[in-house]
A and B are shown apart, each in its own frame.
Chain A
Amino acid sequence: MKPLPFRYMKPQTLDEALEALGSGEDAKVLAGGQSLVPLLNMHLARPALLIDVNALEGLSTIEPSDAGLRLGTLVRHQTLLTSSEVRRAVPLLAEAAALIGHEAIRARGTVGGSIAHADPAAELPMVAIAKRATIGIRSASGSRRVPAEEFFIGYLMTSLGPDEIVEDVLFPMAPSPSGSAVEEFSERHGDFALVAVAAELSLGEDGRVARAGVAVAGAGPAPAAAREVEAALIGQASPEGVRATAKAVAADIAPEDDLHASASYRKHLAEILAARALERAWQRAKAASEAR
């Protein structure tokens, strides 16, 4: 389980990295290495060139603004747990980050790495969908922003081009009062989720749900927005009502049978976890509303 030979470079500037990435060579970007290095070791990834971006400056920033919370691509998962800015601006991120692997993994793994790797069961892509985040993408020829829902297109597949790099992720701020929660089912502590659900609710002046973002991980080739659930949530005004919308989640996901679980078990879990996440998000939104 040693990687096959590859060329390694550690550029000092983003331009240098982008130039190498656009050179046409079969290249992979190495950030935290928590997914890529095992793939290299198992000969499942066989790049000719590895571009280590860890020396690049200015990519580890956490910037709150009116537009939302902007996370640089090299922000480590562990930082999401410890940063008070993250906790204040997007508490959903802090709660989800606590479920990522173990501390050693969180200390290395990066936001951009998780987003670009796009594991269907990973927490951050799910939160990006629930929050309707946008992904900032750079290449030598320019930059663009892509909504998370258009970014994740299939199993470990994204709309990222071979010459492109994830530069940042922008998580919009929820209109207050709001509340959010993540529920995850994994067989052991620290495992990838069999299924996870992230939910965020904002209440209107009338105390009813005015805005909802719900996403499911582990129940299809890519993390999915639970649109049916989101639609059913609008106007709900009780914990029971909020919970009941979880039934609609089956229409939003398309899991398949695999070694770990049947499609029907994943559907079942998605419904249970959605109900639990929504109820907790509701309670938090309600508490935020009452605190005002």
Chain B
Amino acid sequence: MDQIGRSVRREEDRRLTTGRGRYVSDIVEGNMVQLAFVRSSRAHARITGLDFTKAQSMPGVVGIFGPKDMGEAIKPLSFGPPPESAMEPTMPCPLADGVVRHVGEPVAVVVADNRYIAEAAADACEVEYETLPAVADVQEARKNQVLVYPERGTNVAAVVTRKTGDGEAALKRAAHIVQETFTIPRVVGHPMEPRAVVASFDPVTGRLTVEAATQGAHTVKMGLAAVLDLAPEKIRVVVPDVGGGFGVKNRIYSEDAVAAWLAIRLGRPVKWAGDRLEEFLATNQGRDQVHTASLGVDEEGRIVALADHFLQNVGAYTPEPLIVPAQTATCLPGPYRLPNFEATVEVVFTHTPACAPYRGAGQPEATFVMERLLDRAADAVGIGRDEIRRRNLVRPEDMPYENGIIGRDRQPVTFREGDFPGTLETVVEALRVGTSPDDGKLRGTGIIDFMEVSGGVLFEICRLELGRDGVVSLFTGTSSQGQGHRTSWAQIAADRLQVPMDQVRVVEADTDTVPMGLGTFASRSTITAGNAIVQAVAPFLDKCREEVAALWEASPEDVLWEDGFFRLAGVADRAMDLRTLAVSRPLDAPLVEASAQFMDANTSFGMGCHGVRVAVDPETFQISIEDYVICHDAGVRVNPLLAEGQVFGGTVQGLGTAWYEALRFDAQGQPLNTSFMDYLVPGSAEMPDFRLVKRDFPSSSNPEGLKGLGEGGTTAAGAAFASAVEDALRPFGVKITSLPVTPASIFAQVKGGVRP
């Protein structure tokens, strides 16, 4: 039976929705201790003294450790296997080594019987600071008046450029040039589950076992091996249930290293389960770009050139320094025919937490800039906002279309399949523009295009193993954080093995089961692991055929594989399925296993379109979403239900950035809104009932035609929402150039403006 393409519910659904998940926080081990970190209250300071006297004497405190106690382990963390290493990461030490560079940086660690005691003791630790000047704003930091790393002489960590055709110079040939400054603020990723780790050391085997809420088990393993000077084979990293990652759980953090170091030092299991405040202060954040961009079009609205100079705030530490800014630069042209393009980004250090890949990782920023400019250009030319897109999208007859940029797979960005104008029309037609109630509200629509870049990042391994009970175990290095890999990987394997899904057991993210894995990020897992699974099936079945041949005392060439059965050529009644094979084998027969490694050499591109209709109260500027239509080319949908969940969830997260979210810092680098009272995320009551219209084109970039779709919703929502709200507020002449779009920000613009 075909399993690929079925909307199967996740196997973990019942367990997770009835409180029977097993997250890191749920792990309890005998003799376990818990950690709380003493974190810097200053954005930039020299630590001149640590006094643990009062805290040390509190009942239940096992020990308090500062950087000096950690000795050799106090060195910058290594990222692990960097997907892109055009620039060396600048990483923090497990505990700050003399200087702190953002509020929340770990300074010391308390080990106690439980988290309550640990927090109380951390509160009682005294840190003496020599406060140094700090800078949080990227434009301020660019002035180099306050330096994050004085020895560098500048806050500009790197400059990245992308150019095609005549670049910026071509702008002068345009009939209309629109220019704007756009701001996308700092946002916090906020997985529902904060980061967490449990580390245990077995003195008998000398092995360290780490259970971590991470997107990359091997990434954490390699990172720990480097910082603790351990042989990698002495470390096993296992990932239990994880409640969301969105990119921010895709690295080794200071807390992982400290917990592992303490597990070895104390010989006791050590747990650190971070809380929401720590998620605000000490986990990678995202966005934070300021663009000055110009789009030139001819008399008919056809794009002549796009030029963009932007700043990327990367914070104080840069685990993945260039991924986001490079991806923004690469994605700016979107799905359009764009003959001349030039983008320059300056990557700037500030005294803020690391700003690194977060769902979309540069694509939402690029899409916001490009789509806002297209809206402006349409207005300048005097044509519809949908019409200007129609005139500029890459057409089927242009394909394969190379836009002249080298992508993250180090190949020319090439659109090989799809019907971009057709996708646009589908959404234009689906979006209800019918009559509005006469309720005094202003209404507007936004229709924007986007391109989801997926995969194209190295490889995954899949290993298949036939159990004695006939169950096929599938091992791979990806790491589900809610995507439902155990279900969709089983679907892919079951489809090709022609067995029921429950005959496949998926084991993910356990470093002892596959020699290497990259993990789950960059919308790569379905493509990379999916193809690896398919490619492991053929050698696996070959091994099985040999086993069947041995049982039947036949030649393997005479054993055929049809409809889920091995058959003997020319003998009608000789048939055996996998389960029968497994139970028929002699006890001393060797293990049947096979593996494949799939290298995802080419990124896949999935074009999509979001259409949104909003109503705005012309007095209070309260915004409501009345309709939201999404078309997103997902290639081959392994599980349409889970695919839909990814698209809707991504869109909600994008609406967070569009509508509510911004982490604010004061001039001294103090974050100002570090709780869900003050930092708003989308609530279910405000979210629309999304409507999905499907136009899928299997990817030509990988054998199975798979595409990623985890980030497109986030990529598109900001541009679509801004466009619709601006359209509704035409009577006020409101111009939206920054996110989030809040009623207060609209009021700030229209104050004294003309009301309709």
Contacts and interface: CB of A to CB of B under 8 A. Distances in A.
Interface of A: 1-5, 38, 42-43, 185, 187-192, 194, 259-262, 264-265, 268-269, 272-273
A185 to B, nearest CB: 5
Interface in B700-756: 742-744, 747-748, 751
Given A259-B678, A265-B744, A272 B119 contact: no
Nearest to B748: A262
Contacts of A188: 660, 680, 682-683, 685-686
B397 interface: no
B275 interface: yes
Contacts of B677: 38, 192
Contacts of A190: 683, 685
A5 B119 CA distance: 10
Contact of A269 (B620, B678, B748, B751): B620
18 contacts: A1-B275, A1-B276, A4-B119, A4-B123, A187-B742, A188-B683, A189-B686, A191-B680, A259-B673, A260-B678, A260-B744, A261-B744, A262-B744, A265-B748, A265-B751, A268-B747, A268-B751, A272-B619
Contact of A3 (B116, B672, B685): B116
B744 A5 contact: no
6 A-B pairs with the lowest CB-CB distances in the bound complex, closest first: A189-B685, A1-B275, A188-B683, A265-B747, A2-B116, A261-B744
B48 interface: no
B274 to A, nearest CB: 10
A259 B664 contact: yes
Contact of A272 (B620, B675, B683, B748): B620
Nearest to A43: B123
Nearest to B116: A2
Contacts of B115: 2
A264 B745 CA distance: 12
Nearest to B681: A188
B292 interface: no
Nearest to B674: A42
Contacts of A194: 744
Contacts of B119: 1-2, 4
A268 B621 CA distance: 11
Contacts of A187: 660, 680, 742-743
Contacts of B680: 187-188, 191
B114 to A, nearest CB: 9
B276 A264 contact: no
Contacts of B660: 187-188
A185 B622 contact: yes
Contacts of B751: 264-265, 268
Contacts of A1: 119, 275-277
Nearest to A192: B677
Nearest to B747: A265
Contacts of A262: 744, 747-748
Interface of B: 115-116, 119-120, 123, 275-277, 619-620, 622, 660, 664, 672-673, 675, 677-678, 680, 682-683, 685-686, 742-744, 747-748, 751
B440 to A, nearest CB: 11
A264 B660 CA distance: 20
A190 B743 CA distance: 17
Contacts of A5: 116, 120
B681 to A, nearest CB: 9
Contacts of B123: 4, 43
Nearest to B117: A5
A50 B686 CA distance: 37
Nearest to A261: B744
Given A185-B743, A187-B680, A264-B747, 4 more contacts: A3-B116, A4-B123, A189-B683, A269-B620
B620 A185 contact: yes
Nearest to B683: A188
A22 B84 CA distance: 65
A5 B673 CA distance: 26
Nearest to A260: B744
B507 to A, nearest CB: 34
A185 B660 CA distance: 15
Contacts of A189: 683, 685-686
A33 B734 CA distance: 43
A124 to B, nearest CB: 18
A155 to B, nearest CB: 15
Contacts of B747: 262, 264-265, 268
Nearest to A185: B620
A256 to B, nearest CB: 14
A194 B747 CA distance: 13
Given A185-B620, A187-B660, A259-B673, A4 B744 contact: no
Nearest to B685: A189
Most B CB contacts (10 A, CB to CB) among A185, A190, A265 go to: A265
Contacts of A185: 620, 622, 743
Most A CB contacts (10 A, CB to CB) among B678, B682, B747, B751 go to: B747
A249 B686 CA distance: 30
Contacts of B275: 1
A137 to B, nearest CB: 28
Given A188-B686, A189-B683, A259 B743 contact: no
A181 B747 CA distance: 25
Nearest to A183: B620
A78 to B, nearest CB: 18
Nearest to A191: B680
A272 B685 CA distance: 23
Given A4-B119, A265-B748, A42 B675 contact: yes
A96 B490 CA distance: 51
Contacts of A192: 677
Contacts of A43: 123
Contacts of B619: 272
Most B CB contacts (10 A, CB to CB) among A1, A3, A5 go to: A1
Contacts of B675: 42
Nearest to A273: B620
Nearest to B621: A265
A189 B681 CA distance: 12
Contacts of B622: 185
A10 to B, nearest CB: 19
A142 to B, nearest CB: 37
B517 to A, nearest CB: 33
Contacts of B116: 2-3, 5
Contacts of B742: 187
A132 B677 CA distance: 29
A97 to B, nearest CB: 17
Contacts of B664: 259
Contacts of A268: 747, 751
B294 to A, nearest CB: 31
Nearest to B750: A268
A43 B619 CA distance: 39
A255 to B, nearest CB: 12
Nearest to B672: A259
A10 B704 CA distance: 64
A253 B687 CA distance: 33
A192 B680 CA distance: 12
Most A CB contacts (10 A, CB to CB) among B685, B686, B744, B748 go to: B744
Contacts of B672: 259
A130 to B, nearest CB: 20
B41 to A, nearest CB: 12
A189 B116 CA distance: 33
B54 to A, nearest CB: 13
Contacts of B120: 2, 4-5
Contacts of A42: 277, 675
B248 to A, nearest CB: 19
B36 to A, nearest CB: 8
Nearest to A265: B747
B680 to A, nearest CB: 6
A191 B119 CA distance: 29
A260 B664 CA distance: 11
B670 to A, nearest CB: 12
Contacts of A265: 743-744, 747-748, 751
